[in-house]
Structure 1
Amino acid sequence: MSSTQDPLDGISGELAHDGDVMKIVLIVFISISWYNVTELVVLVLSTFRRWRGLYFWCLLLSGCLGVGLYSLGFMLKFFTQANSTFSVTVLTVGWWAMVTGQSVVLYSRLHLVLRDEGILRRVLIMIIVDFFLLHVPTTILTYGSNVKNRSGLFVEGYNIMEKIQMTGFTIQEAIISALYVSETVKLLRLGSDHTKRRIMYQLVGINVAMFVMDLVLLGLEYASYYAVQITLKGVIYSVKLKLEFAVLGRLVDVVHGDRQSGALGNSLRLASFPYSSDQAPGAPLNTLPVPTFYSAPVTDMDTPDSRLNHEDQMDESDGKMLTMRHFSTWVED
């Protein structure tokens, strides 16, 4: 590594100085990341009774395959004599799963409150396009900066691209979170219940906290504190995933409140939710498949008491709450 590079750099495979304080800080960050991931996996597996669905797998894989491998890769890179190509491969796979996985978690959660398929499709396209525009060039520069006969051009290019990709992914997550907050606030404003208002403030606060953590990472990156930034990133993304899990709990709390109050009436009966064509109408709840998060309500059921008339059709707001109610049932049953 060039002697003119920042001591906190570490881009090219090692730390410029082996100060004990710096080593301790990085090891603490990596250890916290692994602890948070372990706790998250235990919580997810013990809470979800049906281990399937986009939200479940993205939450799980973004933690295990993402944060876990990402932190392991930097542990190998900074503190062992492991082959640089191997350590970079481990951390790169983890980085892909962690960063894009986080965005897909946000995307899958967005299905709970947003039923506009056009917006959802555009969000998904944005995630896919950003993967190729931001992940791929950064990965090439990462390998180029860590090969045995590396060129200074790769390191300089990586320094520039790292800032670009972090800014891009921060904007991407901010857009998805803003859509979610906007739709959730509209939903919770349907009632004047004090509990709903408190949950609304908590959800907004959680999303603001996640955005502030992204800004902290950006600040460290633009200040060129590379080693601190990349190890702290694992901690922050593991915390963000745990906050995502907290958001799930808040949504379930909303549903429980509506179950107890009965304020939404017969239009929210689970029997009116659209099930797959291979499920017999009126089947017991515990045999029902997991439905899509958004679709139009079924209007002709075989049993007279479950058949919906035109005036009983749900509007968009009721449809959102019904989606959330079934999501709660999916998580708990």
Structure 2
Amino acid sequence: MAAPAVDGVIGEYSGNDLKIKATFTVFLGIALYNSLELMVLIFASFRRYHGLYFWSLLLSTVLGVIPQSLSFILKYYDVAPLWLSVSLSTIGWYFMVTGQALVLFSRLNIVIQDSTVTSRVLAMIIVNAIILHVPTTVLTYGSNFVQSSVWVHGYTIMERIELTGFCLQEFIISGLYIAKTIKIIRLSPLSNKPNRKIMYQLLAINALIIIMDIILLVFEYLNYFVIQTTLKSMVYSIKLKLEFGVLSRLVFLVQSQHDWPQNHDWPEDHHWPRSSKKSEDLL
């Protein structure tokens, strides 16, 4: 599946390897299917359409994964003007990557009560969005439309920097969830099997997010550009579906702790478990 490092950076995929074409087509197909399914689940599950959690989840799907996936179909198969596919990819990338980080952030206060920590996480997301999105965007357009070796070389370097930076960001946020979840479970009775099951689910989900990011990094540093970019769309669609399923488990876990503050400011825009104090909000 080896492909030239520059193949796919400028214009369409020009290789003749059917395995690569089949692979990235499957990745993009799965990403689009997951996104459409998630859209249905979002509108079917939320009682009110407001709040950071709802909007970050919805926009990272509708304006993130979907245009990102479509852009690579248009670009790699050369079925649309290059400016259109590059622009769709750039917009989708913004909403997909930073949007997914905001999904993570929007539920962080469920397990972390320290406003200093959450403020620093938000600041990290904002700073990374500026210093990683902006230069990568400039180099993306330069490498595709100026088509100079200098621009292409600069883009390949920046691509690795931004992917590494955003992966480290997710490592940090997922690490906070893992550490706090373990701490919460240690405060609960060992005989509480439902809580222990939820704990293992949360740990597995956050560990899976980290593993998927590591896989993306491996493909990037092995110069499988076409595979990495299309796999990214599928990975983020999976991560968003995982994020959708993790919130109610977090709420159930935290509210089951007897020592947890009863006046906690829970998000109000999501259906809650029946054991929750907000169960009357269920439709």
Provide the TM-score with structure 1 as the length reference: 0.76
* 1:9 CA drift (Å): 2.6
Corresponding residue pairs, total: 274
Q: Kindly tell me: are residues 89 and 274 of structure 1, through their superposed partners in 2, closer, same or farther at Cα, counting changes over 3 Å?
A: closer
Match of 2:193 in 1: 194
Which residue pairs with 2:210 in the alignment?
Answer: 211
Please say which of residues 217-226 and 111-120 is displaced more in the overlay: 111-120
| 44 and 13 in structure 1: CA distance in 2 versus 1, 3 angstrom threshold | same
Q: Which runs of 5+ in 2 are unaligned?
A: 270-274
Q: Distance in 1 between matches of 2:23 and 2:210?
A: 23
CA 6–273 in structure 1, closer or farther in 2 if over 3 Å, else same: closer
1:332 has 2:282 as partner: yes
Q: Relative contact order (alpha carbons < 8 A, sep ≥ 6): 1 or 2 greater? A: 2
Structure 2 equivalent of residue 294 of structure 1: none
TM-aligned CA deviation for residue 118 of structure 1:
1.1
Aligned partner of 2:81 in structure 1 is: 83
- Deviation of 1:126 after TM superposition, in Å, equals 0.6
Describe the SS at the equivalent of 2:110.
Answer: coil
Letter in 1 for 2:198: I
Please tell me the residue identity of whatever aligns with 1:205: A
Please state how far the C-alpha of 1:253 moved relative to its aligned partner.
4.1
For the pair 1:239 / 2:189, whether they are aligned, the reply is no
Per-residue Cα deviation, 1:304-332 (whole angstroms, up to 9, x for no partner): xxxxxxxxxxxxxxxxxxxx956x64973
Instruction: Please give the alpha-carbon distance, in whole angstroms, between the structure 1 residues aligned to 2:280 and 2:119.
Output: 24
* Percentage of matched positions with identical amino acids: 47
**1:176 matches 2:173:** yes
Measure the CA separation in 2 of the matches of 1:209 and 1:273: 28
RMSD: 2.6
User: In 2 relative to 1, CA 331–235 (structure 1 residues): closer, same or farther, beyond 3 Å?
Assistant: farther
Q: Decide whether aligned partners of structure 1 residues 103 and 128 sit closer, same or farther in structure 2, where only a CA change above 3 A counts.
A: same
Letter in 1 for 2:65: V
Is the 2:199–2:253 Cα contact (8 Å) retained in structure 1? no
Q: Give the alignment's TM-score, normalised by structure 2.
A: 0.88
Contact 1:66 1:97 in 2 (8 A): yes
What amino acid is the match of 2:62?
C
Other-structure match for 1:229: 228
CA change 1:201–1:13 in 2 (3 A) is same
Corresponding position of 1:48: 46
Point out the structure with max Rg over C-alpha: 1
Q: Deviations over 1:162-216 (max 9, x none)?
A: 1111110010011111112222222233221121112112111111111001000
Q: How does 1:32-181 map to 2 (within 5 A)?
A: 32-147=30-145, 149-181=146-178
The answer to whether the 8 Å contact 1:7/1:17 transfers is no
1:137 and 1:331 mapped to 2: Cα distance? 45
- Partners of 2:80 and 2:227 lie apart in 1 by 21
Q: Which segments of 5 or more consecutive residues in structure 1 lack a partner in the other structure?
A: 276-288, 292-323
Residue pairs, 1:300-311, within 5 angstroms: none
SS at match of 1:18: coil
Of the structure 1 ranges 191-200 and 153-162, higher mean CA displacement relative to structure 2 is found in 191-200
Alpha-carbon distance in structure 1 between the residues aligned to 2:161 and 2:193: 42
C-alpha separation in 2, matches of 1:124 and 1:195: 32
Q: Distance in 2 between matches of 1:92 and 1:329?
A: 40
CA contact (8 A) 1:138 1:165 kept: yes
